[in-house]
Homo-oligomer: A and B are copies of this chain.
Amino acid sequence: MPTDFALTRRQFDLPEGVIYLDGNSLGPLPKAVAERVGQTITEEWGKLLIGGWNKAGWEAMPMAVGNRVARLIGAEPDSVVMGDTLSIKIFQLLASALEMRPDRRVILSDTGNFPSDLYMAQGLSAMLGQGYSLRTVAPEEVMEAIDDSVAVTMITEVDYRTGRKHDMRAITARAHEKGALTIWDLAHSAGALPVDLAGSGADFAAGCTYKYLNSGPGGPAFAYVAPRHQSRVRPALCGWLGHDAPFDFDPDYRPAPGVARLRVGTPPVLQLAALEASLDIWETVDMGDLRARALELTDAFIAGVEAACPDLKLATPRDHAMRGSQVSFRHPEGYAIMQALIARGVVGDFRAPDILRFGFTPLFIGPEDVEKAVSVLAEVMATRAWDRAEYRVRARVT
């Protein structure tokens, strides 16, 4: 049965009069979240108290929820664990990968990667010393740059600014050919498009859940380790809940079997409960349907904007194979233009220096939203409605 996107849309609370094209930054509120989190608070925490760890299954949540996320990213059962933040998970995977390639010193990434990933690699390299370094190349040069010096590639599949999508299968194959490992950041992939970690032969991956997976502000991250590596990974951040027997209170660390060893401290139960409610919506979604719909929406938006707004330059690839689920345009006054749009109920966001970013998330965005967004944007551009001092005041976070 084809995915019913009218049904999925009805499962979100969307403010009246807003076309929300920023689900790629923070997904909107699923209707079921408030009740689910409320129940976790009053029925579980309130009544079970410490007993909630067993009786309400809190202790098992990182792996149980991980298995639900696994389906959406083509991961094998019991190969995904939830917790912490994406940056923390990247650090753990990087440290593990470097330990598995002790004769190599290079972390390869691209200049389109999200800065936090680059910072984590810089921090790790600085701490390790011994010649470790982060090398970044332009996104289109990644394939060529993978050589025998590379220990691990650390690539975000979909560029957070341009929406450009890497070829996971090809890069992974190239890395393996050269003896390197791969870490895939799925921040703009999980819930945005079909991901096939197992089929691509990926070694490691991580992602966040507060974007396309709609888990809310500060929702937990996930980490993936290919089954073939799980018994070899020794995470640098060796927390007690990643221990083989946490409640033995052994003075020496001994990793848990499997990906659970990437657990660190106490899992954020309230945020996990919100994610669980959000994941219920995904149970009815076929990723192939989602992808077809996202391409239809992004195609329509590109065509509409290009026809109506000649001053906006497309930053996103036209080639479907190279496109995520967002569309970006460049304009020197991008910041002010976005503020004018937001003031008119079309919410995208701005990324320095000149990117207007629009996320297309089929769970709650449809063709009529695209049409409306194009017409508002066309009006803003045609009338130079953005050219007002108030739209140039930069807020700290956009």
Interface residues of A (CB under 8 A from B): 13, 15, 18, 20, 22, 25-26, 28-29, 33-34, 37-38, 41-42, 45-47, 49-54, 58-59, 84-88, 91, 95, 99, 111, 114-116, 118-120, 122-124, 126-128, 136, 161, 208, 210, 216-221, 234-241, 243, 247-253, 264-272, 274, 347, 349, 351-352, 395-398
- Decide: A253 near B210, CB < 8 A? Known: A86-B265, A88-B265, A217-B269: no
Which 7 A-B pairs rank lowest in CB-CB distance, beginning with the nearest? Answer: A85-B265, A116-B240, A123-B238, A218-B268, A217-B269, A119-B253, A29-B46
Could you list 29 A-B pairs, sorted by A, with CB under 8 Å? A13-B42, A15-B46, A29-B46, A34-B38, A50-B349, A54-B397, A87-B265, A99-B127, A114-B240, A115-B243, A115-B250, A116-B240, A116-B265, A118-B252, A119-B238, A119-B252, A120-B238, A122-B253, A123-B236, A127-B128, A128-B128, A161-B249, A208-B265, A208-B266, A218-B268, A220-B268, A221-B265, A248-B352, A270-B274
Q: How far is A206 from B118 in the complex, measured between Cα atoms in Å?
A: 26
| CB nearest neighbor in B for A217 | B269
Contact of A87 with B237 in the complex, beta carbons under 8 Å: yes
Which of B45, B210, B251 is close to A216, meaning CB atoms less than 8 Å apart? B45
Which of B41, B119, B123, B239 is close to A33, meaning CB atoms less than 8 Å apart? B41
Q: How far is A15 from B46 in the complex, measured between Cα atoms in Å?
A: 7
Q: How far is A20 from B247 in the complex, measured between Cα atoms in Å?
A: 21
Q: Which residues of B contact A252 (CB under 8 A)?
A: 118-119, 122
